[in-house]
Structure 1
């Protein structure tokens, strides 16, 4: 499997899904409520349809696990591979119209994200990565060159320096204050969706502690970007965040280190 060529294809699919989202973002849209009380919009459904059709048309024939059809997932293929998709990550940010929402597509192989594409269509920015290829940021729109720019984490701050911490805009955690107190001097940067991991990947933030609930599809794509940019996504016990058991949709608490 040529991950470089596959990355190009998946980037195109994610941007098509972004276009479908923006067509709905520009007008009034309906909002439903899922069983878990989280919101669901027309845009979630439209992006899901675009992505599933695009991934199923690829020659690799890899099964798809999407947030919007988790029950339809039949398991990884014989090589331990599956697509992990959040068609619209940050639905609350979408509803607030603050632009901080993304399309997330990851390729999982033997429990690890080996390819990831994160597209933020309202911000006109993408983050891309594949094992052996690297991690990149792409900015498009007026005045932008749409070229892939290599990105890398900043590394641990110098002794006594202030940590740049990125945190959730919509999901504050009561455990976070205690963790930050132990960290020491820090500045907090609020951000929505998987963009939090991407800020660490590009060196704009040093760490992202997530001491609250997330699902596999919230993190898979950006996790790939962080790893290929030289960072780590680890549980509180220091083990890499794993995607080996997709039937268990919830992630444990984790820390993204630059």
Structure 2
């Protein structure tokens, strides 16, 4: 495997450029229209994939740009928009536009997710939020970092590290909940642990765990491996743990099974409550 720092910089560059492609299509004033009805005012087209989820020209443009850059590594690439046929043990796993529904409806909570998988586990993760020009990145044993970008160029003075000992101080504890999630378990968990619900979309929820804005993120709605791999590295390198609720182990990421099981992410600060959290969830499922 190539140097991890080199691959991390390559992934960051790919995320920046993918985000730039997305912003070419994004208009915050756009109103979500029925998918079956063509909106002549929209600056892009929407297509429906076989799984009934939407994909836009922005997804595809970001995907192409990310492929172009990551291909320099010589490693296979698996994307939401271009599935990798082989069951590789080492590959890039990307979601070129996580939160397509938010993008379509003019909500800025979408992001670019890039992870590097080795032996079915993520060892590198990058999440870039184009609207706020913020990037979260992490690699195994290198910690989690945050950067506020200016003109898509890294500003070294703006790098903030979320080490396993250096999490945000706050009085109000929160649980990250999917903006569109209908499962009631996260709300019940928030009541049990006296946590304020923080409703968000996309993999940004993992970033909130890493920076200490939220303590728990429990996912019970369907998701795919590219939705979670980058976020897992970012959260875990900041001291959090992610637990597959079916296996009670860390999730596996392999192209032979693209769907993720239900899972929970617990911040470093709440690790002493892990058994209590898992027992409560088990009773609810």
Q: Among residues 146, 156, 160, which one is paired with 1:149 in the alignment?
A: 160
Q: In the alignment, what sits opposite 1:51? A: 66
The Cα shift of 1:10 comes to 1.1
Q: CA–CA distance in 1 between the matches of 2:4 and 2:112?
A: 19
The match for 1:24 is 25
Matched, 1:120 2:135: no
1:205 corresponds to: 214
Give me the whole-angstrom Cα distance separating, in 2, the residues matched to 1:116 and 1:184: 29
Secondary structure (helix, strand or coil) at the match of 2:218 reads: strand
1:14 equivalent to 2:15? Answer yes
Q: Name which of 212, 228, 241 aligns with 2:251.
A: 241
Superposition deviation, residue 75 in structure 1: 2.4
Is residue 83 from structure 1 mapped to residue 92 from structure 2 by the alignment? yes
CA deviation after TM superposition for structure 1 residue 162, in Å: 6.0
Aligned residue in 2 for 1:74: 86
Contact 1:63 1:75 in 2 (8 A): no
Is residue 2:210 matched to residue 1:195?
no
* TM-score, normalising length: structure 2: 0.80
The structure with the largest alpha-carbon Rg is: 2
Deviation by residue 1:117-166 (Cα, 9 ceiling, x = unmatched)? 10011121110001122110111248x956321014688x9xxx864101
Unpaired runs of at least 5, structure 1: none
Measure, in 2, the Cα distance between the counterparts of 1:101 and 1:238: 29
Structure 2 counterpart of 1:176: 186
Change (3 A) 1:21 1:231: same
Q: Residues of 2 paired with 1:73 and 1:15: CA distance?
A: 27
Provide the rounded CA distance (Å) in 2 between the counterparts of 1:186 and 1:225.
22
TM-score normalised by L of structure 1: 0.88
